[in-house]
Amino acid sequence: MSDDFKKIGEIIAAGSNRKPPPAYAWQDLALWVIKELNIPSFKRSAVFKVCKELPKIRVEQCVGDTKELCQSGAKWKYFFKIVGNLKKGLE
């Protein structure tokens, strides 16, 4: 009987190590962009800002354009150039 309680305790302890899901959809989108384009850690906050300010479809288009047009080099730099041009066009 005590083995059963030990197993339940292990399950609870293992479950408490999980990270909570993002609170907003734009946070999940930002994490996806960071993963897709290998954004360095010092630029990640900028990705979150872009994903919060722009519509999801625009961010996805920027990622798609970046992948298509930038075959070599730092894709994240190209992504921010595209986003910058997009923001200038919206102003």
Mind listing the pLDDT tens digit for each residue in 27-68?
A: 999 999 999 999 999 999 999 999 999 999 999 999 999 999
Of 4 and 20, which is predicted with more confidence? 20
Q: Global pTM? A: 0.73
Closest residue by Cα to residue 24 from 4, 3, 66, 53: 53
Dihedral of CA atoms 74, 42, 33, 77 in degrees, nearest 10, equals -30
Residue 83 CA to residue 86 CA, distance in Å, equals 5
Contact 47, 34 (CB under 8 A): yes
Model pLDDT, residue 15 = 64
Residue 31 CA to residue 29 CA, distance in Å, equals 5
